[in-house]
Chain A
Amino acid sequence: MMQRKWKVAALLAVTLLTGSVYASAGEYSLDNDFMSWLFDFQRTKGVKPVADKQYLEECGACHFAYQPGLLPAKSWEALLNDEALRKHFGVNAELDSDTLKDIRDYAIKNSAGNSWYKQSRKIAAATEQGPVPLRITGLRYISRKHRDIPEKMVKGNKDVKSLSFCDKCHTQAGKGVYDADTVNIPHYPNWDGWFNK
């Protein structure tokens, strides 16, 4: 009898837990709905990989095509407009209006707040309030993850030079995977130490 009572309690608790996750999904105005995320067994630990050919070609022509899930929608709105692109981090990166619209729509649709991927959810939660972040490296989450990396491994490393070049060390950055196990800092194979691997 007691056991049945506990089983009912367990079932109720699982329902409540699932419900709370579902309720919090409202904050993210999901592109992928909750149920498809729940029953999707593929790993969604990083950020959603870029699937749009135009985005890959246009952005990737000059730099690593950062996944839209690395910034919230408000950042993409601030970055992807005619005026902002004329002085895109010191470079004129103007696009024709149709291309710009497509790229901006894609970026906003897949931005941090609209994704179930874990790192995107973290970024969305951390940038909900405060100023609009324009640099991925300026995000609190990203800078915190890199704060223990000595500068000699990044700026002083001729094969890296800056944190902006994600794919120099994150060997699966193109797939949206940024976890520490896939990091290979050029010239520093034991960057994480023998204990922390």
Chain B
Amino acid sequence: MKCRVKLGNVVAGICLAVFSGMVHADNTVSNNALPTAASFYTNNYQLLKSQSVNSAPILLAANEGNAVQSQPDLTPAAPAAEYSPPWLTGRKAHQYLGLGTVLFAGLTALAAPGEACEHNCPPQPAPRETSGTTHTRLARTTAALAVATVITGLIYHWDDFHLEDGFSDPDNQHVMLAGTGALLMLYAINKSAKSSVPTSHAGIAELGAASMLVAIKLTW
């Protein structure tokens, strides 16, 4: 059993390495090297120069008005129509992880062992299994996906969340509902995993999954 668990960890590690490698390769199509201090300097020479030599604030695209000297082309421009977006980016990873979370939440519910009880329960034939069953494995995978979704959302969509836009803003609603949904699912798993007797947790988890589903729909 121990050997199987270790093998599982190794396989998961390899999968993660392959996945992150694919993301990196996809993002560095035209630049195969990892960014170094030197490459950052050469790629942003004009910008750094304007900051250090002129001590002027960075001119941003939104500041219409001041003319900017034309820059030498770094790479030839591809016509917009011919551009095909990368199939995997951080933002798309967030999207896939979110959909995966809801899918796995559904599978976890389907694999539930049956009605639980908290009071006047019949005697259990064997100690309650809180790991190793299909239901628990699926639940833990769902939790991992939910956490990964929240993390990737924070990294790649941080600039979409603005408190000053209020609750009616769809992105703010998405963050609040999805974050609450993920927390509810984690709470449900934790509640069940720590209990030695069958405990009611399905409703909380389903509420969490529903909350995530609504969050996805709002920004779909």
Q: Does any Cβ of A come within 8 Å of B101's Cβ?
A: no
Q: Verify B62–A125 contact, CB threshold 8 A.
A: no
**Closest chain B residue to A17, Cβ basis:** B214
Give the residues in chain B near A44, CB-CB below 8 Å.
220
Question: Closest Cβ of chain A: how far from B21's Cβ, in Å?
Answer: 13
**Closest chain B residue to A120, Cβ basis:** B170
Give the residues in chain B near A118, CB-CB below 8 Å.
170-171, 218-220
Q: Verify B60–A196 contact, CB threshold 8 A.
A: no
Known A-B contacts A18-B214, A171-B80, A182-B85; the reply to A162 vs B64 at CB < 8 A is yes
Known A-B contacts A7-B202, A181-B92; the reply to A155 vs B220 at CB < 8 A is no
Q: Which of B31, B86, B119, B220 has the most CB of A within 10 A?
A: B220
Q: Does any Cβ of B come within 8 Å of A190's Cβ?
A: yes
Give the residues in chain A near B171, CB-CB below 8 Å.
118, 122
B91-136 at interface with A (beta carbon < 8 Å): 91-92, 115-119
Complex alpha-carbon distance, A184 and B83, angstroms = 7
Q: Verify B117–A10 contact, CB threshold 8 A.
A: no
Q: Verify B70–A156 contact, CB threshold 8 A.
A: yes
Q: Verify B35–A194 contact, CB threshold 8 A.
A: yes
**Closest chain A residue to B58, Cβ basis:** A150
Give the residues in chain B near A2, CB-CB below 8 Å.
116-118, 200
Q: Verify A145–B169 contact, CB threshold 8 A.
A: no
Q: Verify B203–A6 contact, CB threshold 8 A.
A: yes
B46-86 at interface with A (beta carbon < 8 Å): 46-47, 58-64, 66-71, 73-78, 80-81, 83, 85-86
Q: Which of B31, B71, B86, B202 contacts A157 (CB 8 A)?
A: B71
Q: Does any Cβ of B come within 8 Å of A104's Cβ?
A: no
Give the residues in chain A near B77, CB-CB below 8 Å.
159, 186-187
Question: Closest Cβ of chain A: how far from B207's Cβ, in Å?
Answer: 4
Q: Does any Cβ of B come within 8 Å of A163's Cβ?
A: yes
Q: Does any Cβ of B come within 8 Å of A53's Cβ?
A: no
Q: Does any Cβ of B come within 8 Å of A52's Cβ?
A: no
Complex alpha-carbon distance, A158 and B80, angstroms = 14
Give the residues in chain B near A17, CB-CB below 8 Å.
177, 210-211, 214
Q: Verify B207–A152 contact, CB threshold 8 A.
A: no
Question: Closest Cβ of chain B: how far from A141's Cβ, in Å?
Answer: 8
**Closest chain A residue to B80, Cβ basis:** A171
Q: Which of A13, A126, A150, A195 contacts B59 (CB 8 A)?
A: A150
Q: Verify A146–B62 contact, CB threshold 8 A.
A: yes
Q: Which of B30, B85, B165, B202 contacts A181 (CB 8 A)?
A: B85
Give the residues in chain B near A84, CB-CB below 8 Å.
none
Q: Verify A184–B78 contact, CB threshold 8 A.
A: yes
Complex alpha-carbon distance, A61 and B60, angstroms = 29
Q: Does any Cβ of A come within 8 Å of B168's Cβ?
A: yes
Q: Verify A151–B203 contact, CB threshold 8 A.
A: no
Known A-B contacts A17-B211, A184-B83; the reply to A197 vs B89 at CB < 8 A is yes
Give the residues in chain A near B47, CB-CB below 8 Å.
150, 152
Known A-B contacts A6-B200, A45-B220; the reply to A163 vs B64 at CB < 8 A is yes
Question: Closest Cβ of chain A: how far from B42's Cβ, in Å?
Answer: 13
Question: Closest Cβ of chain B: how far from A113's Cβ, in Å?
Answer: 12
**Closest chain B residue to A13, Cβ basis:** B207
Q: Does any Cβ of B come within 8 Å of A9's Cβ?
A: yes
Q: Which of A10, A122, A151, A181 contacts B60 (CB 8 A)?
A: A151
Q: Verify A155–B67 contact, CB threshold 8 A.
A: yes
12 contacts between A and B (CB under 8 A): A3-B203, A17-B177, A44-B220, A45-B219, A118-B218, A125-B166, A146-B60, A151-B66, A153-B61, A172-B85, A181-B86, A194-B27
Known: A146-B61, A194-B27. 9 other contacts (CB 8 A): A1-B118, A21-B214, A44-B220, A125-B165, A171-B81, A187-B73, A188-B75, A190-B28, A197-B90
Kindly list the 4 A-B residue pairs having the minimum CB-CB distance in the complex, ordered from nearest: A6-B203, A186-B77, A2-B200, A154-B61
